[in-house]
Structure formats: structure tokens, C-alpha cells
């Protein structure tokens, strides 16, 4: 998973320059939500209290709707599980990396070739690639998040329930993404691995707050959006790697993007099914998540130095075109089309209001972005130092 942070979208109208998150947690200020600041447990040492966390709402799905997910178990087994790939047909990180079991000289030749290929890639590209890698590496948080969802969680840790089987196997597929990007970055010699590792540790310790309220309707809308956002983001880092003279890295990012696309298909299919069996409930869930804004999973990232690290990373991703507010609006429009939301009938009054909100949102997001761009232009560029690249300065 990957995608603007709550605070950045929330403060969009307050800030003079736009800060976007790469895996968009982007959010027009359409509705005021109550927020509370949380104090990090001292052992976790999260970012220094600059991050707003949503007000805790838990178990918002009415208990009787758990039966819907129970009744969809055989459908999930037939329609969702086949979107996983058998392990022996899956790519593995080592296929893209120098082979360490060969004679040392040959291994070092391959490492040297990797470094030569990446030598023309710019520092700002590495900032974005590192941010994407860190987002992937906080995978324990995402599996935890999905297992907070009522009616689909893995009740035992090895449950044969198809929802639980999907989540475990999805996690196992995703686990290769962070591994591959991390090893590539390590071998490139271009980044400060210790600061990256520290950021990952902080991030997993901090968790995430997507506002899914233990509610699988909200959870699957979130994952549908996020998987597509990561597909877009990795696709763009692939394109930039190719343009920058590193075809192997381009293949790495492109291969990860194609996994994200397959995962997107699964989650989109689940929401599509919910729209079929419970049109109003599903439509309201989509509207609810879009009102809250889809927060990037790594919105609580911190390296021990920069309390605005996520906003800075997001701003670089926006500038390089890796993940932008336009992408956020595009994803929304794509999902509206894919779920045929504009033509949906049989909704209650509440459902129709939710439909109207969702279907009219993308142009509002784009307009907001245009205004933010104009303000940012007047401010001019500024530089930010990133610990991940040895405190070198990058324009945001």
C-alpha cells in the first residue's frame, strides 16, 4: 500500500504552500471533523506531537451487518482468493538483485553495475523512492489495520476463513515490495540506511489512523483507493527510473506496481459486491471515507529529526509528479466509473445525498489544488534537508 496526509489536506486552506502526500492523503476541507492530539507512548517516541489524529470512532458498522460478510465468504473464496498468485509463480526480490552466492568478484561486478546504473538518478528521486520504500516496510501496521475490521479479521492468526486467508496472503505478497526496494537502496550506496531504518522503526511504532472505525465497508473503500494510489506511485517511479538511465530499477518499480494493480482489483471487486448487496450502506461508506480524505498509510512517518517529514516527502512526490493531488482526483474519478456510482439506483435519500457528494467531489479537489498551486508559486521554492540522503537539501 502506499498514497496526502490528514494534516496537509486539512490545513490546505491555512497554509501558504501546498503540501501533498505522495500516497495521497489528500483532503479538501469539506467538513470539520473533531480531532484530538495524541501523546505518543514514551517507549515509541513518535513525532513530537505535531500530528493530528482523528477522533476515535470504533465499531461503527451495525452488528447485524457482520452477517453480510459471513454470507459472502463463499463468494470471497471463489472471486477474491483467485486474484492471489501461487507462491511458486510469484517473483522474489533476489531475482532483481546481484546474486550473493556467486564468486565474490562477480557479485561485486553486479553491485558496481547497479551503482553505475543509478548514478544519474537525482537526490530528489531517491527521497521519493525512500519514502515509498518506508511506506511499504511498515507492512505490519497495514495487516494490523485490516485485522481491526469486524467480520473479516483473522480470528486465530491462521484462520481458514477466506477473508483471513486473503489478508495473510496479501500481506505475504506485499512483504516482497519493501524487501526489494530496501535491498536495492542499500546496495546503491546513495542513501543513509541507518536514518531510513530509524524512520521505519518510528513509523511502525506510531501506526496509522485511516479512520476506518473497525468497519469493513470503510476499510475496503480505503484499501481500494490506496492500492490504486500505490499502483500510480510505483508506476511513476518506474517511469522516472527509466528516464534516468536505470532500466533495472524501472523494472523493479513496474513489477511492484503490477502487484498493486492486482490487489486493487481485489479490493475494488469487494466494494463492488457490497454496492450490489447493500447499495446505500456501501455508497455511504465511500462518501464517509472521501469526506475524511484518504490518508496516506505513512502519514505518521518521522526520522527523529524532521517533525514535518511526511509533508516534505509528499511535497517532493508532488513536484516530481510521482503522486499528486491530480492523481488523487483521478483515482476518485476512476473508482466512480469502475463502480458505476453515477448511475446507481435504488438508493435511499441518504444514499442519494452520499452519491451526489462523491460524484461531485473530483472537480472541487482540482479547483482547490489550482488555488494552492497559485499560492505556492507566489511563495517561490524552498529547500528542505532530508536525513535519508545525508542531510542534503532538496527543493520542495
Catalytic positions: 91, 136, 174, 177, 227, 230, 259-260, 263
- Compare residues 177 and 182 and give the one whose CB is closer to Fe ion: 177
**Smallest separation, CB 176 to Fe ion (Å):** 8
For residue 305, give the C-alpha cell. 529529526
C-alpha 361/C-alpha 28 separation (Å) is 9
Determine, following the binding rule CB under 5 A, whether residue 182 of this chain makes contact with Fe ion: no
**DSSP character string of 245-260:** T-HHHHHHHHHHHHHH
Q: For residues 331 and 236, what is the distance between their CA atoms, to the nearest angstrom?
A: 14
- Selected from 153, 176, 177, 228, the binder of Fe ion by CB under 5 A is 177
Interface with Fe ion includes 132 (CB under 5 A)? no
Q: Report the residue number, 150 or 227, with the smaller CB distance to Fe ion.
A: 227
| Smallest distance, Fe ion to C-beta of residue 170, A | 8
C-alpha cell at 101: 552466492
333 labeled binding residue? no
Stretch that binds Fe ion, among 1-9, 67-75, 186-194, 291-299 (CB under 5 A): 1-9
Compute the distance between CA of residue 197 and CA of residue 56 in angstroms, rounded to an integer: 29
Minimum CB–partner distance for residue 229 and Fe ion (Å): 9
Shortest distance, position 277 Cβ to Fe ion, whole Å: 25
Which ranges in 95-161 belong to alpha helices (H)? 104-118, 123-137, 139-146
Q: How many CB atoms lie within 10 A of CB 98?
A: 18
Count of residues engaged in binding Fe ion, rule: CB under 5 A? 8
Does residue number 260 form part of the binding site for Fe ion (CB under 5 A)?
Answer: yes
Q: Which stretch binds Fe ion (CB under 5 A): 6-14, 64-72, 97-105, 131-139?
A: 131-139
Q: In angstroms, give the least distance from the CB of 182 to Fe ion.
A: 12
x-marked contacts with Fe ion along 218-237 as a string, rule CB under 5 A: ---------x--x-------
Applying CB under 5 A, does 124 fall inside the site for Fe ion?
no
Closest residue by beta carbon to Fe ion? 177
Q: Which of 150, 173, 174, 327 binds Fe ion (CB under 5 A)?
A: 174
Quick check: 98 and 110 in contact, CB under 8 A?
A: yes
Q: Hey, CA dihedral for 51, 141, 331, 211, is it positive or negative?
A: negative
H/E run at residue 385 = strand 383-386
Regarding 196 and contact with Fe ion (CB under 5 A), the answer is no
Task: Find the helix or strand (DSSP H, E) in which 393 lies.
Answer: strand 392-395
Residue 380: strand, helix, or coil:
coil
In terms of Cβ atoms closer than 10 Å to its own Cβ (0-12, 13-18, 19+), residue 363 is exposed
Q: Is 146 in the site for Fe ion (CB under 5 A)?
A: no
Binding-site annotation, residues for Fe cation: 136, 174, 177, 227, 260, 263
Residues that bind Fe ion (CB under 5 A): 1, 136, 174, 177, 227, 230, 260, 263
Amino acid at each position: 500500500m502506499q498514497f496526502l496526509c490528514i494534516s496537509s489536506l486539512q490545513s490546505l486552506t491555512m497554509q501558504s504552500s501546498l503540501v501533498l502526500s505522495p500516497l495521497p492523503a489528500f483532503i479538501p476541507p469539506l467538513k470539520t471533523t473533531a480531532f484530538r492530539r495524541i501523546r505518543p507512548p514514551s517507549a515509541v517516541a513518535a513525532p513530537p506531537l505535531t500530528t493530528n489524529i482523528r477522533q476515535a470512532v470504533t465499531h461503527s458498522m451495525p452488528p447485524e451487518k457482520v452477517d453480510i460478510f459471513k454470507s459472502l465468504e463463499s463468494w470471497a473464496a471463489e472471486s477474491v482468493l483467485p486474484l492471489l498468485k501461487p507462491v511458486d509463480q510469484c517473483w522474489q526480490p533476489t531475482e532483481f538483485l546481484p546474486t550473493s552466492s556467486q564468486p565474490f568478484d562477480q557479485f561485486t561486478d553486479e553491485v558496481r553495475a547497479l551503482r553505475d546504473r543509478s548514478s544519474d538518478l537525482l537526490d530528489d528521486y531517491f527521497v521519493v523512492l525512500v519514502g515509498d520504500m518506508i511506506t511499504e516496510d511498515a507492512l505490519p501496521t497495514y495487516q494490523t489495520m485490516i485485522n481491526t475490521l469486524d467480520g473479516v479479521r483473522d480470528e486465530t492468526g491462521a484462520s481458514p476463513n477466506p477473508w483471513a486467508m486473503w489478508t495473510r496472503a496479501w500481506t505475504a505478497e506485499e512483504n516482497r515490495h519493501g524487501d526489494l526496494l530496501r535491498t536495492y537502496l542499500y546496495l546503491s550506496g546513495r542513501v543513509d540506511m541507518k536514518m531510513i531504518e530509524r524512520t521505519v522503526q518510528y513509523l511502525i511504532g506510531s501506526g496509522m489512523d485511516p479512520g476506518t472505525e473497525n468497519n469493513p465497508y470503510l476499510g475496503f473503500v480505503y484499501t481500494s483507493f490506496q492500492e490504486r494510489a500505490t499502483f500510480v506511485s510505483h508506476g511513476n517511479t518506474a517511469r522516472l527510473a527509466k528516464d534516468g538511465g536505470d532500466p533495472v530499477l524501472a523494472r523493479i518499480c513496474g513489477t511492484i506496481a503490477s502487484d498493486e494493480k492486482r490487489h486493487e482489483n481485489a479490493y475494488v471487486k469487494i466494494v463492488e459486491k457490497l454496492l450490489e448487496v447493500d447499495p446505500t450502506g456501501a455508497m455511504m461508506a465511500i462518501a464517509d471515507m472521501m469526506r475524511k480524505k484518504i490518508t496516506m498509510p505513512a502519514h505518521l512517518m518521522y526520522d527523529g529529526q524532521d517533525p514535518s517529514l511526511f509533508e516534505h516527502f509528499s511535497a517532493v512526490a508532488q513536484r516530481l509528479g510521482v503522486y499528486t493531488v491530480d492523481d488523487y482526483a483521478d483515482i476518485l474519478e476512476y473508482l466512480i466509473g469502475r463502480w458505476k456510482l453515477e448511475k446507481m439506483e435504488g438508493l435511499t435519500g441518504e444514499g442519494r445525498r452520499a452519491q451526489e457528494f462523491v460524484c461531485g467531489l473530483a472537480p472541487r479537489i482540482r479547483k482547490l489544488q489550482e488555488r494552492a498551486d497559485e499560492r505556492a508559486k507566489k511563495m517561490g521554492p524552498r529547500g528542505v534537508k532530508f536525513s535519508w540522503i545525508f542531510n542534503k537539501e532538496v527543493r520542495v
